[in-house]
Amino acid sequence: MFRPLSHAHITAADIADIERRMQTLERRFQRVADRTSARVAQAADHVGDAIVPALAEVIDRFRGSARSVGDEATRYGQEAARLGNTALRRLSDEVEHRPLVILAIAVGVGVLAGAVPRRP
């Protein structure tokens, strides 16, 4: 492609030939770079098109899980309130029917709580 040149024999025509070849190489590199950047942009669009639905699905799953956990927590809260109301009714019935027994139990619990050593 290139003929060997000695430094003493380089002419203006040789320099012009080198410049022309350099410009040809620059144009080729520019075309390759343009095609490559277009392909990269296209690939990025495809990746984005693939990622968006996947992320949307993950978000929907998290939302569904959050709703499910919220519903479950509401159910547990309602059940706890129902059990608490039942226990309160039973306790009030016992207090009405056996006030001295309930008083003795309360005193016993108080004594036990007072006997537990306190941590500093």
10-62 per-position pLDDT tens digit: 788 888 888 888 888 888 888 877 777 777 777 777 776 777 777 788 887 77
Residue 117 belongs to a domain: no
Map tokens 């000695």 to a residue: 6
Residue 116 belongs to a domain: no
Count of domains in the chain?
Answer: 1
pLDDT at 66: 76
pLDDT at 29: 81
pLDDT at 87: 85
Residue 95 belongs to a domain: no
How far is it, in rounded angstroms, from Cα 115 to Cα 94? 26
How far is it, in rounded angstroms, from Cα 15 to Cα 19? 6
Asked if pLDDT for residue 81 goes beyond 60, the answer is: yes
The parent domain of residue 69 ranges over 15-90
Residue 1 belongs to a domain: no
Residue 17 DSSP code:
H
Residue 98 DSSP code:
-
Q: What is the pTM of this model?
A: 0.39
pLDDT at 120: 64
Output phi, psi for 104, to 5 deg.
-65, -40
pLDDT at 1: 52
Map tokens 């639905």 to a residue: 53
Asked if pLDDT for residue 2 goes beyond 60, the answer is: no
